C-alpha cells in the first residue's frame, strides 16, 4: 500500500523544497511534529495540524498551485512514521539535521525536538495525565526544545550533551510504545445499538403490564 510507504530520499527532498516555498516547517521540525502526532493516543485531523505545518491559521488563503501533491507527501510522511513505529519501533530514525565540522559531523536535534513538542501541545491533555510516566522519556526532548534546556546545556559538558542527544530517538520510540498500549483507554467508547430481545406487542394485544386492557388503551397509549 503506497499510502503507508515511507518517503524515499528524493521524495523527502521534494517535500522539503515545497515546504520551504510555502513558508512551512523545515523538514526536521515537521518530522518531530508528525512523530508526536502519530504517537499520541488521540487522533489529530489535518484541519488541526495543517495550520501548524504552514505556521498560519490562514493556510487555506495561501496559493498552493500544487497543494494536492504537497498534501499527498505530507500524508505519506505522517503515515510512514506510524508504519515504521508500529511495526518495528527500533527501526525508526528521526530526521535530525547535520552540521559538517570537517573532522566530524554534529547532529542537531533542536529542530526535531521543538517540532515534537508542538505535536504534544496539539492534544496536551493526555500527555499531562500521564506526565509522571512519560517524564523520563520526555526529558531529553525537552532539553533541546526550549530556553530552560538551553540554559542547562550551557552549564553541561560536551559529553553530557552528546548523551542527551543520543537519548532522543530511543525516548521517542519508548513513548510511542507506551501510547500504543494505552490507546484503548483514550479511544472513545462505541455505543452498542439497542437490541430488542422480545417482540414488541401489537396494539390489539393484551398489555404486558398485566392490567387486562389492550396495549393500545394502556401502556401503548402514552
pLDDT of residue 1: 41
Q: Which of 45-49, 52-56, 83-87 has the lowest mean pLDDT?
A: 52-56
DSSP state of 206: B
84 or 200: which leads in pLDDT: 84
Per-residue pLDDT band at 197 (split at 50, 70, 90):
very low
Give tens-digit pLDDT for 98-135: 988 777 788 999 999 999 999 999 999 999 999 999 99
Confidence grade of residue 215 (pLDDT, cut at 50, 70, 90): low
In terms of average pLDDT, the best of 56-60, 167-171, 202-206 is 167-171
Q: How many residues does the chain have?
A: 222
Q: Shortest CA distance to 59 belongs to which of 48, 74, 75, 44?
A: 48
The answer to whether residues 52 and 118 touch, using CB atoms and an 8 Å cutoff, is yes
Kind plus residue range of the DSSP H or E element containing 34: helix 27-39
Q: What is the pLDDT of residue 213?
A: 66
Residues 38-44, mean pLDDT to the nearest whole number:
92
Q: Which tens digits make up the pLDDT trace of 4-21? A: 788 999 999 999 999 998
Question: Cell 542527544 identifies what position?
Answer: 165
**pLDDT tens string 144-166:** 998 888 889 999 999 999 999 99
Determine the Cα–Cα distance for residues 205 and 41; give it in Å rounded to an integer: 52
**Mean pLDDT confidence for 165-190:** 88
Q: What is the mean pLDDT of the chain?
A: 85
Considering the four listed CATH numbers 1.10.10.10, 3.30.360.10, 3.40.50.2000, 1.20.120.740, the one that applies to the domain covering 2-186 is: 1.20.120.740
Nearest to 109 by CA among 127, 95, 126, 124: 95
> What does the alpha-carbon distance between residue 5 and residue 78 come to, in Å, rounded to a whole number?
10
Amino acid at each position: 500500500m503506497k499510502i503507508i510507504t515511507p518517503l524515499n530520499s528524493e521524495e523527502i527532498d521534494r517535500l522539503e523544497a515545497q515546504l520551504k516555498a510555502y513558508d512551512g516547517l523545515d523538514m526536521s521540525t515537521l518530522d518531530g511534529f508528525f512523530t508526536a502526532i502519530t504517537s499520541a493516543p488521540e487522533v489529530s485531523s489535518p484541519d488541526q495540524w495543517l495550520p501548524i505545518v504552514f505556521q498560519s491559521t490562514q493556510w487555506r488563503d495561501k496559493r498552493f498551485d500544487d497543494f494536492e501533491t504537497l498534501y499527498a507527501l505530507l500524508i505519506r510522511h505522517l503515515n510512514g512514521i506510524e508504519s515504521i513505529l508500529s511495526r518495528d519501533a527500533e527501526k525508526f530514525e528521526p530526521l535530525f539535521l547535520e552540521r559538517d565540522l570537517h573532522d566530524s559531523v554534529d547532529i542537531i536535534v533542536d529542530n526535531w525536538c521543538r517540532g515534537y513538542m508542538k505535536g504534544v501541545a496539539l492534544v496536551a491533555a493526555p500527555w499531562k495525565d500521564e506526565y509522571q510516566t512519560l517524564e523520563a522519556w520526555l526529558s531529553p526532548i525537552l532539553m533541546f526544545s526550549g530556553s530552560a534546556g538551553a540554559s542547562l546545556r550551557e552549564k553541561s559538558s560536551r559529553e553530557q550533551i552528546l548523551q542527551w542527544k543520543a537519548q532522543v530517538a530511543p525516548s521517542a520510540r519508548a513513548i510511542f510504545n507506551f501510547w500504543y498500549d494505552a490507546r484503548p483507554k483514550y479511544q472513545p467508547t462505541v455505543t452498542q445499538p439497542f437490541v430488542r430481545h422480545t417482540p414488541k406487542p401489537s396494539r390489539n394485544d393484551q398489555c404486558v403490564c398485566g392490567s387486562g386492557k389492550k396495549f393500545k388503551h394502556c401502556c401503548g397509549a402514552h
